Structure 1
Amino acid sequence: MRVTLPHTLGKDEVRRRMESRLGRASEKASNLIGGMAQVEAAWSDADHLTMTVSSMGFTVPSAVTIEETQLLFDVEIPAGMGFARGMIETMVREKGQKLLG
């Protein structure tokens, strides 16, 4: 699933905001999901962040690409989590807009 969020911040500001919020990602994910969640994140280069969220026996790999005018979220929904696709997309949009707002 791909979620695209337009922005007018430029790459550097988006990257700065993302880096400043990554440290609390596991805590925030646990609060959103309502249980224990683990988030692993790593920058592969200045514009690409890979993340893996693990919770309730599922692992959801994702990637974030920073572009000059948009932020791209690519999320791989595991077969057993198809029921949660809408909820995941809504969460990505809401949290992404909050980050960019």
Structure 2
Amino acid sequence: MPGFKVEVPHSLGQEDAANRVKSLLDHLRGRFEGTIKDMEQTWTDDDVMQFSFKTAGLVIKGIMDVQPSSVIVKGDLPFAAMLFRGKIESSIREELEKCLASK
């Protein structure tokens, strides 16, 4: 199955970055409530989250790894979603960059 990968650098430290990402996910869940269904997320420790959700009848699965100096999101895409891979990656990158911007 084809995949996607986004890596966004940060200078926040691992704990602060993880806390910001968790807040972002809560915000996004509410924002896309009608579009995304069956969203599941499981933090295997404080820094790695496995996720899955359905959108437009397609299942998207992957992991988010919050590292000391970057956040990596990677996952599998159904073949039917490959036309949107660039948009998916750019949307993830944009949201993470805003979330992880130093204040």
- Structure 1 runs of 4+ aligned residues shifted over 2 Å read 19-30
SS in structure 2 opposite 1:90? helix
With normalisation by structure 1, the TM-score equals 0.85
> Are residue 3 (structure 1) and residue 6 (structure 2) matched?
yes
Q: CA RMSD in A?
A: 1.5
Quote how far apart the aligned CAs of 1:37 are: 1.0
Q: Deviations over 1:30-84 (max 9, x none)?
A: 4xxxx52122211011110111121111010021001111110102111111101
- Structure with the higher fraction of residues in helix conformation: 1
Report what 2:56 is aligned to. 56
For the residues of structure 2 that align with 1:22 and 1:87, how far apart are their CA atoms? 18
Number of matched pairs: 97
- Contact preservation (8 Å) 1:52, 1:60: yes
1:36 and 2:39 matched = no
Corresponding residue of 1:80: 80
Pair 1:47-2:47 in alignment: yes
With a CA cutoff of 8 Å and minimum separation of 6, indicate the structure with the bigger relative contact order.
2
Q: Is the 8 A contact 1:62 1:75 kept in 2?
A: yes
Aligned to 2:94: 94
TM-score, normalization by structure 2: 0.84
